[in-house]
Chains A and B, each alone.
Chain A
């Protein structure tokens, strides 16, 4: 029985399903490191998922679909930045507003233009030459679509940006002590706008990864709260890309396991399988709160001389 569950395909789908978590939570990591909690992630993902899907359905161009998701993500990120940085609104509540807006507008557009779920042919698998020929591991790690590779490459990229670039230094400074950063001539607002817009772009890509690469369909509330888990994963991962990678893999593993259990037909109530990631997140949040590396200025709007 155990052998039936822990197959190579289980691990391959673990890798695949980590994609939306990685995109969304790595983008969110950047935003949170600069001090902005973008809780509207799920709404941005939904809008990104719909626009990408609809574009692919109409034009057949996957690249165009991805591009549209990037643009809508950027626009929603800009809106979130305007609300939280310029208008200094309470980030948690305004994030819920952005979520409800995204949820509603994506369902509205879906009902108006599609009304029944349809499918597209999404990003195809691209086996990496030579690497994919390695037995077992080749299929698990190196036989995926481009967005999957992109998500995993984003981990070292985000680590590099945060820890080895001037921009990353400014992001961390703005998130830790915005007063000091401001005194050193760093524009707190400009940095936060940039990180939140980048976070929005990745949320859009995360949504698109669901609708045009992994599931290849769109329906109401496609993400079913995945964006909120992505926000929690940033806490879970201790605001570090490597931690986020670990958390994403844990979650996608539970997702994959859930699918596998229903395929094998094990007599475990599926409700508990669905529930487990949320329980894990809740427990992780309790431990994450004790961490030292939480950005000090997280959720706090910056006001000069305030």
Chain B
């Protein structure tokens, strides 16, 4: 009866401590973020409880606001799922913005040019086109890092700006809707054909219709499905194993016969692809055309950056990203409610997002310390596996930085 008396309880125990340790930075961060927000609110002469309540009401107060929260969360979720793959592969992808734009541009171009003739296939093909376009754009940064030692943070930031300008050029020139030229200074393409529209979701519960007449769309379900696919890819396939091995320790991976450069590029291709889908979905489900006010975040609404925060907050796990993206969607939608209620500008959320990033990466030192102590105690089973982001170009194996 050793199985039930020792192995199972031990397994549960190890699972529990491991989960706790992985969740610790997130819990600590959440507490700190609430504390700092409260201080900021008090400094702005606002009652934190009123403000948080207004936020909650703004995000979940009605079916419509809940739907808006999920609509806002959807692109963040796509990007966050992708960034999870990149980070797990040891590549810091700041290029979600640019990859989203490239996906949207190519997906929209395909839909507008031959969408009508594709019939029902138009939506999957447009999503694929977006995935490939975003993937190639991300893959370039991964390739440059792997083979030319180009800092991927800087290259992706530059590529974000290049993508924005490319989109602005296309929307003001080749892709401009001839009928709306110059109206409201908003550059936009023609409307996509009806058949390419992603359907809105409403749940029929017999007596009540959930999310009827809201903007909640099928893209949300695609994001959920993608999270599951990427989870399986990362943890149940050889491809995912190789990517994670490269991220954990590129030197060890190389000795084990894993092609580091190829897997880094692949991780960035997948990351860019996920962001690319986000771009297409925004077009096919919400605006029905690609449009921007010309500013860097005119199309993406900062989803590329918020995706980074959500990926970290989701513990670099695609399933965690579902919840963290929902959380940030709620923050963004709720912030408007807060601004109306207590007069504190919604930009506070951007500042808090920054602090969340800082808190999460800074708290790693403490989890690392606990993990090390755990390793030194032979009684404890199951050492904690956490990915390492380190510099693969270094000649000597480095300890790297736990994430």
Binding site for B on A (CB under 8 A): 39, 43, 83, 87-90, 92-105, 107-108, 111-112, 220-221, 224-225, 228, 231-232, 235, 269, 271-272, 274-275, 278-279, 281-282, 285-286, 289-290, 299-301, 303, 306
A115, closest chain B residue (CB): B345
- Which residues of B lie under 8 Å from residue A97 when comparing CB positions? 354-358, 361
A-B contact pairs, 23 of them (CB 8 A): A89-B364, A89-B401, A92-B153, A95-B153, A96-B305, A97-B361, A99-B354, A100-B309, A107-B350, A108-B344, A108-B350, A225-B161, A231-B154, A269-B172, A271-B172, A272-B165, A278-B159, A279-B158, A285-B150, A286-B148, A286-B150, A290-B148, A300-B391
Residue B347 at the A interface, CB < 8 A?
yes
Instruction: Please tell me if the beta carbons of B351 and A104 are within 8 angstroms of each other in the complex.
Output: yes
Whether A96 and B165, one on each chain, are in contact in the complex, defined by CB atoms closer than 8 angstroms, is no
The contact of A279 among B162, B353, B398, B399, by CB within 8 Å, is: B162
> Are B362 and A94 neighbours in the complex by a CB distance under 8 Å?
yes
CB-defined contacts of A300 to chain B, threshold 8 Å: 391, 394, 398
A43 to B355, CA, bound (A): 12
Q: Which chain A residues border B344 with CB–CB below 8 Å?
A: 108, 112
A164 to B150 CA separation, bound complex (whole angstroms): 30
**Residues in chain B within 8 A of chain A (CB atoms):** 44, 92, 94, 144, 148-151, 153-155, 157-159, 161-162, 165-166, 168-169, 172-173, 296, 305, 308-309, 312, 344-345, 347-358, 361-362, 364-365, 389, 391, 394, 398-399, 401, 403
Quote the shortest CB–CB distance from B105 to chain A (angstroms). Answer: 13
Q: Is there contact, CB below 8 Å, between B345 and A100?
A: no
Partner of B154, one of A98, A112, A232, A275: A232
CA distance A105 to B349 in the complex (A): 9
Min CB distance A196 to B, Å, is 14
A306 touches B165 (CB 8 A): no
Cβ–Cβ < 8 Å partners of B155 in chain A: 282, 285
Q: How far is the CA of A93 from the CA of B399 in the complex (A)?
A: 17
B79 to chain A, nearest CB (A): 14
From known contacts A89-B364, A107-B347, infer whether A112 and B296 are also in contact, taking CB-CB under 8 Å: no
Inter-chain CA distance A112–B144, complex, in Å, is 42
How many residue pairs, one in A and one in B, have C-beta atoms under 8 Å apart? 156
Contact B173 A269, beta carbon cutoff 8 Å: yes
Q: Give the residues in chain A near B172, CB-CB below 8 Å.
A: 269, 271
- What's the minimum C-beta distance from B224 to chain A, rounded to whole angstroms? 26
Q: Are B352 and A104 in contact (CB under 8 A)?
A: yes
Q: Give the Cβ gap from A179 to chain B, nearest Cβ, in Å.
A: 11
Q: Which residue of A lies closest to B309 (CB)?
A: A100
Q: How far is the CA of A217 from the CA of B149 in the complex (A)?
A: 39
Inter-chain contacts of A228 with B (CB < 8 A): 154, 157-158
- Residues from chain B with a CB closer than 8 A to the CB of A102 are 354
Which of B162, B305, B389, B399 is A90 in contact with, Cβ under 8 Å?
B389
Q: How far is the CA of A101 from the CA of B358 in the complex (A)?
A: 9
Q: Of B161, B348, B355, which is within 8 A of A278 by CB?
A: B161
What chain B residues lie within 8 Å of A290 (beta carbons)?
A: 148-149
- Contacting pair A93 B312 (CB below 8 A): yes
A104→B399 contact, CB < 8 A: no
Residue of A nearest to B388 (CB): A90
- Contact residues in A for B312 (Cβ distance below 8 Å): 93
Kindly list 20 other residue pairs between chains A and B, CB separation below 8 angstroms, not including A108-B348, A300-B391: A83-B362, A87-B365, A89-B365, A93-B361, A93-B389, A97-B355, A100-B305, A100-B309, A101-B351, A101-B358, A103-B350, A104-B350, A104-B351, A108-B345, A112-B44, A271-B172, A272-B165, A275-B166, A300-B398, A301-B401
In the complex, residue of chain B having the shortest beta-carbon distance to the beta carbon of A107: B347
Task: Give min CB distance, B290 to chain A, whole Å.
Answer: 15
Q: How far is the CA of A83 from the CA of B344 in the complex (A)?
A: 28
Given the complex of chains A and B, what is the CA–CA distance between A221 and B158 in angstroms?
17
Contact A89 B351 (CB under 8 A): no
A108 to B349, CA, bound (A): 9
Could you tell me the distance between the alpha carbons of A124 and B262 in the complex, rounded to whole angstroms?
55
